[in-house]
Structure 1
Amino acid sequence: MTLEDIEDIYQNVNSSNNKNDNDYHEFKVKLNPRIFQRKNNEKSNDNVVDDGDDNDDQPDDNIEPYQNFLPAKHSIYVHTWGCTHNSSDSEYMMGLLAQNGYNIVQDKDQADLWILNSCTVKTPAELQFRNEIKKALADDKKLVLAGCVAQSDYRLPYLKSMSIVGVQQIDKIVEIVDETLKGNVVRYLNVRKRDGKKTGGASLHMPKIRRNPLIEIISINTGCLNECTYCKTKHARGKLGSYPIQDIVERAQTAFRENVKELWITSEDTGAYGRDLGTNLPELLDELIRVTPEDCMIRIGMTNPPYILEHIDNMARILSHPRVYSFLHIPVQSGSDQVLSDMKREYCIEDFCKIVDFLKQRVNGITIATDIICGFPTETVENFEETVSLVEKYQFPVLFINQFFPRPGTPAAKMKRIPTQEVKRRSRVISQLFNSYQPYNDRIGRKYRVLVTELSSDKQFFVGHNKFYEQILIAKHQCQLGEWIDVEVESTGKYHMMAKSSLQRWFWNRFRTIFSNNDQTDDDDSRKKMIKTIWLSSCSIVLVSSILYKIYRKIV
């Protein structure tokens, strides 16, 4: 749900459904017994206690009820690192906080409390997270930590004495923020279970403030089935836990009713979805397609090779559907079977090539994105050359190039590292290869139908995507966000295509904007100005058309 003003907050948040959910959490009127108040200026961390069993939610009768606490007096700033799963978690937390009266702000200097939602995939992201904590403390801001670093490393000294909301406990964010603002430390880190089995996490039926009102991100499962030796995300997200198909479909229907145009299906590994529930990704996608309106699109998130290979025929069929982007992110990580084995990736290069070749043959124009890790400890020069050959073979239009970072607590962190300069060299070689080819050079003059959903990073253009999720930049006066338009490619770059501007489309967009504003205007003076603008625009069109016609007649 998109919340823009506190008066517009959607009050009926499927509360009846939530109460029937085993994971429903009713916020207490009294302090939770696991919440401890800091005494004076004690340096001791004995007042920080992690939460225990989720079923033990009885309040302590010896603690006084909340008094004189008004959330509306406090502003909250949320910063997110990492994947779309983290982004979705932040959107839910902002929605819950806004629903309970808190002000969500973009300027961190204006905020009373910062929520820092961390990512543990790469060392640089964790360093940024640590630096933000230092800034917050220096500015005397209250802090609530979230995400994978906070979940997996909560015992580290720099995270002690700080409130933490676990990756499966985001529905408790209001309680945690309440108590943190009062000077208490609260931690909810438990794994969510139902009937003894891990679930996807907090309920999907919660309010949400979307960063982009046109895009709904749904995390269909958490955790994964792999044991990759370099990955620390497993320490935080744990084993696979999937949401039931019905819950996901209902969440999608809610989003479409709120005028969302793109549905992003995400998780640590979408391909593994449902293996813990006796279902699978194609079955989920078929149900989602049935409820997706004709003017909306579905984008499928990252999937590891082993699980997509099991459903390759159905996935090709689904990726060819007109309401699903023909786009798939399949991280290969290395072109060497030996390195993949050392990474415990559970597939070989032949498997990856089989998937890519099959999808390219069966899904017209499909875009395949992938990831490369340069400098894994056991990667020899010969192993690296195999990776270079793989990139040369497929010339992936979307390629995420990463240098190996040893993440504490992972098996790969104990391996002897390749010298840093050599790791950087290999990364440069792959980057130079990637920049040497231009995937869109042959597209000038091509015509596409695109869905416009985003603003470019420089704020100068709207961004639309065609069926293959290729990025096309469009002049802002040509269209409006959330609509489908037909475009012709005028020029291309490494990462995008540029749409040709159309005088006819400009006139149509101008008139539509005028009439739209006129419908929303009640003031008589404003209405008169609007009518005058329409009249002048009409005269301009007639004049230009007349001049063009005379020129045409002279030429003929």
Structure 2
Amino acid sequence: MKYKVITWGCQMNVHDSEVISGMLEKMGYVPAEGIKDADILILNTCSVRETAEQKVYGRLGQLKPLKQNKPNMIIAITGCMIQQPHVVDFIKDKYPFVDIIFGIHNVSKLPQLIETVNYSNYTIVETIENETWLEEGLPYLREDNIKAWVTITYGCNNFCTYCIVPYVRGRERSRKPADIINEVKSLAEKGVKEINLLGQNVNSYGKDLLDERITFAQLLYELNKIKGIERIRFTTSHPKDLSNELIFAMRDLEKICEHIHLPIQAGSNKILKLMNRNYTREHYLELIQKLRDEIPEIAISTDIIVGFPGETEEDFLDTLDIVQKVQYDQAFMFMYSKRKGTPAAEMENQVEEEVKKDRLERLMKLQDSISAKKNEQMKEKLVEVLVEGYSKKDKGKLTGRTRTNKIVNFKGSESLIGQLVMVKIVEPHTFSLFGELYNFQGG
């Protein structure tokens, strides 16, 4: 029996798909080369933007003839989308050939759900979850033996007015530090060199752990001690919870990479308030200055939304201004997308699509020029690169990342994959760097 998992969305979803794959392999399934070869197909969905949901509906439409030709094939759908009742109802109505709809927190029930399909003639729905309970010890299948995602929190308490995440992933729950430490130790024993700690807001880790008082910075100190792990990253950080303690930990701990993803979302205080972000542009700029004072070589990336309800040209110019002031290494930029059930979807003064598109183009043009300039400054520099494998765009080159999260491509032998090497940057590009192998320091 063969399986296929298709994933949309963020790193959290990628990690969730690793757990789903682990569950299926424990049940005896093996990976299918393609969708048509699969006996069970699972779609792991995203609901952050409407375009992500439309991609899922498009894929479901494509699957209808396959299901007709292969009626015993099981099609299941999970992820953030199906935590919304109206989406579940829509799928049951428009795509009745879907066999299972299950919440990502119900993944431990997957064997029973698959078994139930064998004697039912209707769509099985299992989306009820106990938000206060986290199940540990589930198997997972990681395709990458060099880097690993490690979830430290689930859900979110921030309720930004544009965001659906707290409604679909629930309130914030922190994993126990011992469970996280044990998972990372296990990864180190398997040869993993880099871990990336995941949470909607990693900075608030531990605030809900009443029995074990621990901060995110204190967790980093514990993880930094684990032998075999060479690099530690984390995402995402909320500016309102970025403490001096965390900044000092990033400065002092040798395994913490010199990079932070710190979403600004907008440069206008008026828009930040409407978004319920709970910080001002002035406070954000103070944080940037603190980070650069303590960690001069730090790279900073961000998320920005344009066209939020009520955003005027003046508000947008504030966003361009803060991008110019901060000089981000990288930015993920999006047009505002209405999400049903969020306060922003009901706000007045929705911005016209053409205005959103124009602002996004202007923002991207500015950020691309900054990214290119930042990368140009890397020319002739020696950087440490963790080699991840062959480049997808050029199979003749190896690819990896610097500690500051910049992609570097260079020529080298397969034996370097998984190792730390020094590379001299010879040709900077806007989104990546090309270099030459300098020497080999790994073992």
TM-score of the superposed pair, with normalisation by structure 2? 0.91
User: Do the aligned residues in 2 keep the contact of 1:447 with 1:488 (CA within 8 Å)?
Assistant: yes
Gaps of 5+ in 2: 68-72
5 Å-filtered alignment, 1:277-292, equals 277=209, 278-292=213-227
The residue identity in structure 2 corresponding to 1:384 is F
5 Å-filtered alignment, 1:321-400, equals 321-400=253-332
Query: How far does the alpha carbon of each residue in 1:473-508 deviate from its partner, in whole angstroms, 9 at most, with x for none?
Result: 122437521101122111111122211146x87xx9
Distance 1:447 1:498 in 2: 12
Q: Per the alignment, in what secondary structure is the counterpart of residue 105 of structure 2?
A: coil
Q: Which residue of 2 aligns with 1:516?
A: none
2:129 equivalent to 1:191 = yes
Distance 2:251 2:111 in 1: 39
Q: Per the alignment, in what secondary structure is the counterpart of residue 104 of structure 2?
A: coil
2:243 equivalent to 1:305 = no
Q: Which residue of 2 aligns with 1:84?
A: 11
**What is the CA distance between 1:156 and its match in structure 2?**
2.6
5 Å-filtered alignment, 1:157-306, equals 157-159=90-92, 162=98, 163-180=100-117, 183=120, 185-192=123-130, 198-199=132-133, 201-203=134-136, 205-277=137-209, 278-293=213-228, 296-306=230-240
Higher normalized strand content (fraction of residues): 2
- Which stretch shifts more, 473-482 or 143-152? 473-482
Q: Per the alignment, in what secondary structure is the counterpart of residue 457 of structure 1?
A: coil
Distance 1:227 1:90 in 2: 25
Query: How far does the alpha carbon of each residue in 1:283-318 deviate from its partner, in whole angstroms, 9 at most, with x for none?
Result: 21111111142x52111111111111xx22333333
- Which stretch shifts more, 447-456 or 360-369? 447-456
Query: How far does the alpha carbon of each residue in 1:260-299 deviate from its partner, in whole angstroms, 9 at most, with x for none?
Result: 1111100111112111114321121111111142x52111
User: Do the aligned residues in 1 keep the contact of 2:82 with 2:127 (CA within 8 Å)?
Assistant: no
Q: Which residue of 2 aligns with 1:483?
A: 419
Q: Which residue of 2 aligns with 1:452?
A: 387
Gaps of 5+ in 1: 1-73, 513-556
**What is the CA distance between 1:138 and its match in structure 2?**
2.5
- Which stretch shifts more, 349-358 or 168-177? 168-177
Q: Which residue of 2 aligns with 1:132?
A: 59
* 1:419–1:314 Cα change, 3 Å: closer
**What is the CA distance between 1:202 and its match in structure 2?**
2.6
**What is the CA distance between 1:148 and its match in structure 2?**
0.3
Q: Which residue of 2 aligns with 1:463?
A: 399
**What is the CA distance between 1:354 and its match in structure 2?**
1.3
User: Do the aligned residues in 2 keep the contact of 1:113 with 1:181 (CA within 8 Å)?
Assistant: no
Distance 1:254 1:459 in 2: 33
The residue identity in structure 1 corresponding to 2:334 is N
User: Do the aligned residues in 2 keep the contact of 1:282 with 1:314 (CA within 8 Å)?
Assistant: yes
> How many residues are aligned here?
425
* 1:342–1:108 Cα change, 3 Å: same
Q: Which residue of 2 aligns with 1:436?
A: 369
TM-score of the superposed pair, with normalisation by structure 1? 0.73
- Which stretch shifts more, 438-447 or 77-86? 438-447
Q: Per the alignment, in what secondary structure is the counterpart of residue 274 of structure 1?
A: coil
**What is the CA distance between 1:459 and its match in structure 2?**
4.4
2:359 equivalent to 1:423 = no
Identity, in percent, stands at 25
The residue identity in structure 2 corresponding to 1:99 is K
- Which stretch shifts more, 414-423 or 376-385? 414-423
* 2:334 aligned residue (399, 402, 416): 402
**What is the CA distance between 1:445 and its match in structure 2?**
1.5
5 Å-filtered alignment, 1:12-91, equals 74-91=1-18
* 1:323–1:120 Cα change, 3 Å: same
User: Do the aligned residues in 2 keep the contact of 1:319 with 1:325 (CA within 8 Å)?
Assistant: no
User: Do the aligned residues in 1 keep the contact of 2:217 with 2:245 (CA within 8 Å)?
Assistant: no
The residue identity in structure 2 corresponding to 1:170 is V
2:38 equivalent to 1:111 = yes
* 1:319–1:183 Cα change, 3 Å: farther
**What is the CA distance between 1:207 and its match in structure 2?**
2.0
* 1:458–1:191 Cα change, 3 Å: same
Distance 1:415 1:457 in 2: 43
**What is the CA distance between 1:253 and its match in structure 2?**
0.9
Distance 1:96 1:465 in 2: 30
**What is the CA distance between 1:115 and its match in structure 2?**
0.4
* 1:313–1:348 Cα change, 3 Å: same
Distance 1:292 1:424 in 2: 48
Q: Which residue of 2 aligns with 1:94?
A: 21
**What is the CA distance between 1:462 and its match in structure 2?**
2.0
**What is the CA distance between 1:177 and its match in structure 2?**
2.7
* 1:159–1:399 Cα change, 3 Å: farther
User: Do the aligned residues in 1 keep the contact of 2:305 with 2:335 (CA within 8 Å)?
Assistant: yes
Distance 1:487 1:478 in 2: 15
Distance 2:105 2:430 in 1: 39
Q: Which has the larger radius of gyration?
A: 1
